[in-house]
Amino acid sequence: MGLNIAGIAINTNYKEDISKLEIMFAQRLLFEKEVTFEEACESFKEDSYCDIYFSEKGTFILCDMENGCF
């Protein structure tokens, strides 16, 4: 059993400009709720998810491999 996730790290913080992420990945992003890092790394998640973390200098995105957000 393993955890199948896809991810990308970007050296720009897009917290105040989510629309740029939507354009880059050709996906509409809808804020549902805040989650902890542990929740973002859980094995059992709903289909088609995308967890985004904004650090001071970057953006980190985790999503499911099957549907992906890339």
What is the token pair recorded at 59?
């953006």
Q: What is the pLDDT of residue 59?
A: 92
Q: Do the beta carbons of residue 43 and residue 1 sit within 8 Å?
A: yes
Beta strands in the chain (DSSP E): 5-10, 50-54, 59-64
Q: Tokens 């709720």, residue?
A: 33
Q: What is the pTM of this model?
A: 0.76
What is the tens place of the pLDDT at every residue in 6-52?
Answer: 889 999 999 999 999 999 888 888 888 888 878 877 767 766 778 89
pLDDT the model gives residue 69? 61
